[in-house]
Amino acid sequence: MLESFLTIATHPLLWIFIGLTVVFYGVQWVVGQSAEAPTAPDDRIRRLAEKVGMTGLHPVLFLILLLTWGIVAGTLFVGLYAILWQVIFHAPPEGAENIWNWRFTLAQLVALTTVLGAVIALPITINRLILTRRQTDTVEQGHITDRINKAVEGLGAVKEVNRLGRNRYYVIQHETGAKLRETDFEWRGEPFAWPEGSLVASDITDQQLEEWKHVSLTEPNIEVRIGAIYALERISQDSARDHIQIMEILCAYVRQNAPKSTAIPFDISGLEYRPEIYKRLPGASEPRVDIQAAISVVSRRKNKRIEREKRRKYRIDLRGCNLQNADFGAGNWRDAIFDGSVLDQANLASSDFENASFAQCSFENTHFTSASLDDVSASGAKFRFIQISEKAENFQVLNNIDLMAATFDQCEFSLINVRNQFHVAELKNSRFIGCEFGSSWFFVHVPITDLKSCTFQRCAVRKCEVSSERAVDVGINGFFGDGSVKIALDQRPSFWPRQELSEAQFQYEWRKWQDEGPDYTPPEAPEEG
């Protein structure tokens, strides 16, 4: 009887059948849970996987592994009890062969007991490893938090500086003739700027001025702050979990320490607007060293961190900042927000600003060379002293940016094709050199565009309509055109070909007109019929 039981119990088909049955009923149990249960079966499986540290596994895969472990453990249990049955209830062995079989059975018992213990201990071991890992993570996160807190403290570091100063006296003479005595503070080593209209009182001598005295001032400790900024960068590189928080800290630091109100206008009085001449316009403010360091850190963040920002729908936020003369380091600034900021003379060259927002920003003498500006919004922005040309490699400023209500003042456009770039923008005091215009709206009355203040040199019009008012405003006699242009007969220049030219022929005749000037003779129109 025992032999029959062992034969059946150890047959592979029996255990295959039992395993399939357990898997079948296990799946049925999971699928058949009531839909009205407080939590779905999938949620319960996920919670169970979390307890054993397997949250990264798909619930179905985790369930298969769990059932496999159950089948293995069950098989070992049955085998162990079968051998125990054989040891306990089997007759004492007699003969050498039976003794060896008995010893082999005992060896099987020991082996099964060991393996079963290991299988049963597997979940406990995994759970212990999970607890150890969590403790390690807690310690590590605590260490990172301490590093962040220390770095943030460094961002507010100040130092005390002693300077010599004294009160300075002067008299303000008003239009009424009244004289009022005023007092201002003077720093030693700095020239004192007398206010307009002030007179030095004749009854005040040097001996009557106050003595120089020490004045304690606090100012930002730039060295410590730069170290704190680079410490935050290192934490961002080490901990993906804290990257976005660090970007928020750095952006807030720039917004707080470089507000828009600190921007200084360019000193351009008396300068002719020639963008190609001035690489750097006089005046304006320079970014503080720590501010530039923060911008550089944000600019050079790695692609993996940028992908994490996208998944979390986070956007770099530098709204309302003074970014005059800032260098954006050919970095990745996709989806960033700069609304209301001042970017005068900033270096945006070779940087990626795809889908960024520049609403109400100021761009004076800003460098856009080879910058990526796809889907950029610049509604209400002001562009001034910008040179846009093929040589400057900044066509995207016109072709890829949403320029709703933007302003172009004292800019220069050379060798470009003008189509619909300015139809929602204000244009004034600008110059067009060698440009081709092919859009009707540009030469039809548009209230926001002041073409009278613009100059046009060696430009051409083609396949568009020119109103009588606009023909006068732009000086249509200084343009080249052909028969495709709709214009009043009395305003059509005599040197324009009467027929519509092909693209290649138009380009040839236009260049020929530029070279020959008043001596240019248009081609004869082909005879009809």
**Which of 483, 471, 490 shows the shortest CA–CA distance to 522?**
483
Tens of pLDDT along the chain (529 residues) come to: 445 555 655 656 566 666 666 666 665 565 555 444 455 556 777 777 666 666 666 677 777 777 777 777 777 777 767 767 766 666 566 666 666 766 767 777 777 777 777 777 777 777 777 777 777 777 777 888 899 999 999 999 998 888 888 887 766 666 666 666 777 778 787 777 666 655 554 444 444 567 788 888 888 999 999 999 999 999 999 999 999 999 999 999 999 999 999 999 887 766 665 555 556 777 788 999 999 999 999 999 999 999 999 999 999 999 999 999 999 988 999 999 999 999 999 999 999 999 999 999 999 999 998 899 999 999 999 998 888 887 778 878 888 888 888 999 889 899 888 887 787 788 888 999 999 998 767 887 666 678 888 999 999 999 989 988 888 888 999 999 999 999 999 999 999 999 999 999 999 999 999 999 989 999 987 766 5
| pLDDT at position 502 | 93
pLDDT of residue 124: 74
Under DSSP, the state recorded for 345 is: T
At residue 355, what is the residue type? Answer: N
Q: Which of 383, 354, 389, 388 is nearest to 371 (CA)?
A: 354
Look at the alpha carbons of 355, 357, 363, 367 in this order and tell me if their dihedral is positive or negative: negative
pTM of the shown model:
0.71
The CB-side HSE value for 161 (13 A sphere, CA atoms) comes to 10
Listed as own residue / partner, the contacts of 344-347 with beta carbons closer than 8 Å and 24 or more positions apart are: 344/263, 344/266, 344/284, 345/266, 345/280, 345/281, 345/284
Strand, coil or helix: 91: coil
Beta strands 198-199 and 158-173 are antiparallel
With contact defined as beta carbons under 8 Å apart, do 487 and 469 qualify?
Answer: no
Q: How far apart are CA 228 and CA 223, in angstroms?
A: 9
**Which DSSP symbol is given to 218?**
E
CATH 2.60.40 fits domain 300-519 = no
CA 352 to chain centre: 8
- Please report the pLDDT score of residue 378 as a whole number: 92
If one counts every other C-beta atom within 10 angstroms of the C-beta of residue 304, the result is 10
DSSP state of 458: S
| Distance, CA of 241 to CA of 122 (rounded, Å) | 30
User: What pLDDT shows up at residue 304?
Assistant: 94
In degrees rounded to 5, what are phi and psi of residue 460? -140, 150
**What is the Rg, in whole angstroms, of the alpha carbon atoms belonging to the chain?**
41
pLDDT for position 35: 42
Handedness of CA 510, 515, 520, 526 (dihedral sign): negative
Q: Distance from first CA to last CA of the chain, Å, rounded?
A: 117
**Confidence (pLDDT) at 301:** 94
Q: How far apart are CA 344 and CA 385, in angstroms?
A: 10
Closest CA relative to residue 365, chosen from 328, 319, 325: 325
37: left (phi over 0), alpha (psi -120 to 50) or beta: beta
How confident is the model at residue 191, as a pLDDT? 77
69-88 burial code (b ≥16 CB/10 A, e <16): eebebebbebbbebbeebee
Supply the pLDDT for residue 201: 47
Q: What is the predicted pLDDT for the residue at 194?
A: 63
Q: Which amino acid is at 46?
A: R
Backbone dihedral region of 422: left (phi > 0), alpha (psi from -120 to 50 degrees) or beta? alpha
